[in-house]
Structure 1
């Protein structure tokens, strides 16, 4: 790899896909936050809190009134 290739590769975007957080599951009692990356995982599902086992609620982020950021 020559100097020109090194410079070009430094300015090209990386090929890795970045995941966007679509919201988070929250436990109000424990204040535990679990980020959600996939919109499909929010289909009425209320996963249990890893600390206390109570169902967690889902909040959208960051463009909603109930920001989970």
Structure 2
């Protein structure tokens, strides 16, 4: 059973994230501009100085259109 336990331990460890890896900052996704391809993570919108529309949705700095929010699909960053 030693080999089986070792393989199990390795597989379990590969699904866990170490502290300080991407995604530990509370990000739940990114805002995208479908026209320009501009992308900004939700936790960086204010720091980047993006304007917001009347609903609070960030607007694209290049074209001024409202950006679309897309949730992160995995445990990692919203890339």
TM-score, normalisation: structure 2: 0.45
Gaps in structure 1 of 5+ consecutive residues: 1-12, 39-43
- DSSP-derived class of the 1:37 partner: helix
RMSD: 2.7
TM-score, with structure 1 as normaliser: 0.51
Matched residues in 2 for 1:62 and 1:28: separation?
Answer: 19
User: Structure 1 runs of 4+ off > 6 angstroms?
Assistant: none
* Unaligned runs of at least 5 residues, structure 2: 1-18, 45-54
Distance 2:56 2:30 in 1: 12
* Greater percentage in helix: 2
Q: Which residue of 2 aligns with 1:51?
A: 62
Bigger share in strand: 1
